[in-house]
A and B are shown apart, each in its own frame.
Chain A
Amino acid sequence: MGCKQWNDDWVAHLYGELELTEERRLTGHLETCAECRRTFEGLASSRELLAAAAPAVPATPRVVVLRPRPIWSNAWTFAAGAACALILFGAGFVSGPRFMGDGQPDGNSTAGNEPVRQELTTRPAVDDPETTRALREELLAMQQRLERLEETTAPPEGMTAAQFQEELASVERRFNKERVRDLEYVMRSLTASEVRTGTWMDQTHEALTMLAMWQDGGFEER
């Protein structure tokens, strides 16, 4: 074929994508070159057949877009829970020695309030200052880690989204575990003080029990 340089232009002409000046040049050439005319007619014929044979497309199935679960709502929820736990832990830490002491009533205690059950007044291991300090540091470290995670909207470098989610869930699990342990300690302290003073704080006790059982947005039977 002597007019190969036109090849690209034939298809552009066929689909009406040539500039006006190019269009005129090509049309002029077609009028004078029988070979090119035949080539162009062949292309046009193929196009016509293809258009006529356009495969039928079945009805478009619906694309379902699942809304991803907002991870921050969870994070904030358990962060709030953790904050409550810390407050309660602090309260328990302060009130524990007041109510329990070393088995001796303090100066503000009512005289005659002897421990009813000695075992309840035994200071739990968690009340040890060293253990408490370590626990508090661990909680603070986890809280800081959580805050760092919350500041990140995308997974950190070298971590896939799934790993990131797993990491977050792992921190949450550990946090919850610590929180439950702290609440149990507070409850034990409360029970001890109730027994010592003979005053029952039913509602407070129940609320704390519910809080201790609270897991991941719901209550679980333990």
Chain B
Amino acid sequence: MTGASDEELVEAVRCGDTDSLGVLVARWEQPLFRFVYRMLPRQDDARDICQETFLRILKKAHRFRQGSRFSTWMYQIALNLCRDRARKAKRWSLLIADTPQLPDRPSGPLAPDSADPALSAERREKTSAVLRALNGLPTEQREVVVMKEYEGLKFREIAEILGCPESTVKSRMYYGLNGVRSALASQGITEP
């Protein structure tokens, strides 16, 4: 069953084969958690939403349309749950503004790989400013930027997930990137 496509596995889930859901979970739990965490950067929330997403997949497998892509459907469910969570808690911007998640991984372009503490601090400050700028974007732009930049989805896929034309997605991306640039310029991080 592990060689089956995602769509075949959903069909099996629909017929009551819960083992297939286990295969889907093993296949998608990491990308989904990454996606949700970047949309709603609280580990507890992200974990809950991942669980809820898979639960909904199990419950609503019969509503999965033939010919659709599983990943698109899964991201749609997760995104709706993220929006609901943010709307209910009314803490979308507050959370993100108050608790910027700085990279603390051992490698990466802005990781503190230098022995120079001043340089390291400057990089961390820059990273923090970029994340603040990203979090300050309107939600619809932020969603597109995260899906494109951090999840590497195609514009077409993002359009399917959001249920809007591809041109709208590109437009949101354009304004999102410009918004980040303007915010950084206003903080003196980059040139206007």
Contacts and interface: CB of A to CB of B under 8 A. Distances in A.
Interface of A: 7-12, 14-15, 17, 42-43, 45-47, 49-58, 60-65, 67-68, 153-154, 161
Nearest to B47: A61
Contacts of B16: 153
Contact of A65 (B18, B155, B177, B181): B18
Interface of B: 16, 18, 21-22, 25, 29-30, 33-34, 37-38, 41, 43, 47, 50-51, 54, 58-59, 62, 100-105, 108-110, 126-127, 130-131, 134, 145, 148-150, 154-155, 167, 170-171, 173-174, 177-178, 180-181, 184, 190
A49 B170 contact: no
Given A45-B190, A46-B180, A154-B62, A10 B18 contact: no
Contacts of B154: 17
A62 B22 CA distance: 11
Given A43-B174, A43-B178, 5 more contacts: A50-B150, A51-B149, A52-B130, A54-B103, A63-B25
Given A8-B167, A56-B103, A60-B29, A46 B173 contact: no
B18 A57 contact: no
A55 B30 contact: no
B130 to A, nearest CB: 4
Contacts of B190: 45, 49
B54 A63 contact: yes
Contacts of B34: 57, 60
A50 B134 contact: yes
B181 A15 contact: no
Given A12-B155, A17-B155, A53-B130, A67 B18 contact: yes
A164 to B, nearest CB: 13
Given A12-B170, A42-B178, A50 B18 contact: no
Nearest to B57: A65
A28 B127 CA distance: 34
A16 B114 CA distance: 32
Contacts of B181: 42-43, 45-46
Given A50-B149, A53-B103, A65 B22 contact: yes
Contacts of A67: 18
Dominant SS among interface residues on chain B = helix
A7 B105 contact: no
17 contacts: A8-B170, A8-B171, A11-B155, A43-B178, A50-B180, A53-B110, A54-B149, A55-B41, A55-B100, A56-B101, A56-B102, A56-B104, A57-B34, A61-B47, A68-B18, A153-B16, A154-B62
A21 to B, nearest CB: 17
Nearest to A49: B130
B130 A7 contact: no
A53 B178 contact: no
Contacts of A11: 155, 170, 173-174, 177
List the 3 shortest-distance A-B pairs measured between CB atoms, nearest first: A53-B130, A8-B170, A52-B109
Contacts of A154: 62
A49 B180 contact: yes
Nearest to B48: A61
A172 B105 CA distance: 56
Contacts of A161: 59
A153 B62 CA distance: 12
Contacts of A10: 174
B33 to A, nearest CB: 4
Contacts of B21: 65
Contacts of B170: 7-9, 11-12
Contacts of A8: 167, 170-171, 174
Contacts of B127: 52-53
Given A43-B177, A49-B184, A58-B37, A64 B51 contact: yes
